[in-house]
Amino acid sequence: MYEITVDLDRCDGIFACLVRDGRFEEADDGLVTLPDGDRADGELTATFDDDRREAAEQAAAACPVDAIAVTDAGDGSAAADATTEGEP
């Protein structure tokens, strides 16, 4: 499970992310949105449990203003396991 977070104060509507991950779309305000995303305090967040994390990471890497972050998500021990998986 992973979470995509977009800093809407940094996003300037270049939409390089749309080319890398089709879940990113233009919102009515000219910034980006995600399916089932929550907007609060200048951030857009959405949590996914699928096999498309690499596409999300490519979208984040393509953002010229570094407004997109992709991080592990979860609660309780599942979150701890996800954040340490693959680390020495």
The CATH code of the domain that includes 38 is 3.30.70.20
Does residue 82 fall inside a structural domain?
no
Does residue 81 fall inside a structural domain?
no
Give the pLDDT score at 84.
35
Does residue 79 fall inside a structural domain?
no
Domain range for residue 31? Answer: 2-74
Does residue 17 fall inside a structural domain?
yes
- The mean pLDDT value for 35-47 works out to 96
Q: How would residue 85 be classed by pLDDT, with cut points 50, 70 and 90?
A: very low
Our count of domains for the chain comes to 1
Range in 15-19, 28-32, 35-39, 73-77 the model is least confident about = 73-77
Does residue 41 fall inside a structural domain?
yes
Average pLDDT, the chain: 87
Structural contact between residues 67 and 60, judged by C-beta atoms closer than 8 angstroms? no
Q: What is the pTM of this model?
A: 0.81
77-86: long-range contacts (C-beta < 8 A, 24 or more apart)? Answer: 78/1, 82/1
88 pLDDT higher than 50: no
